[in-house]
């Protein structure tokens, strides 16, 4: 099964594609979709949706996964994150791609073994779980972690 992991953000949305065959997980691809901070909001959201649509078309995932939304202390940041998530989820919904959502602590626990893991610990485990994968950046690493966690956390169909 091919799974697309997502780390939505207005400035840089990370994505990661893995293949799960039984208990074996392999890296397929990963990357980041960056938007121009000076561009109007509608253009930035369209860029996210279009960029992710291209990823979906290329890799043909069977399902997707994203972290559940969290609330920042800054309401403006929360609103921008929500809008970015909307664009990302719309790209998945447009092609009928189911999206599972997982709490950040559960993703960390599934990948590292503790829900209190930091980004460095998650990235270190990615090197163990996906040897040889060239990770495009922190956002792509988070997306790969979400995809791996989805293998363990998603409801069985």
* Active-site amino acid positions: 7, 67, 139
Residue with tokens 């979400």: 146
Question: Please, which residues bridge with residue 13 across strands?
Answer: 33
Whole-number Å distance between alpha carbons of 16 and 150: 12
Identify the three-state secondary structure at position 4: strand
Tokens coding 21: 């065959």
Identify the three-state secondary structure at position 15: strand
How many residues are present in the chain? 157
Whole-number Å distance between alpha carbons of 62 and 106: 22
The reply, when asked if residue 139 is annotated as ligand binding, is yes
119-129 helix and 138-153 helix, angle to the nearest 10 degrees: 70
> How many C-beta neighbours within 10 Å does residue 70 have?
9
Q: Which residues carry a binding-site annotation for Mg(2+)?
A: 7, 67, 139
Q: Which residues carry a binding-site annotation?
A: 7, 67, 139
């Amino acid at each position: 099964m091919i799974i697309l992991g997502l780390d939505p953000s207005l400035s840089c949305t990370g994505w990661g594609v893995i293949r799960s065959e039984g208990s074996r997980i392999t890296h397929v691809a990963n990357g980041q979709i960056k938007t121009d901070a000076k561009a109007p909001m509608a253009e930035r959201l369209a860029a996210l949706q279009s960029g992710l649509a291209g990823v979906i078309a290329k890799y043909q995932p069977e399902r997707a996964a994203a972290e559940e939304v969290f609330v920042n202390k800054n309401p403006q940041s929360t609103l921008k994150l929500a809008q970015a998530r909307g664009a990302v989820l719309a790209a998945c919904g447009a092609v009928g791609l189911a999206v599972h959502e997982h709490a950040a602590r559960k993703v960390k626990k599934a990948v590292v073994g503790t829900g209190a893991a930091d980004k460095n610990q998650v990235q270190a485990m990615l090197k163990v779980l996906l040897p040889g994968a060239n990770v495009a950046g922190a956002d792509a690493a988070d997306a790969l972690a979400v995809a791996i966690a989805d293998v363990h956390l998603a409801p069985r169909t």
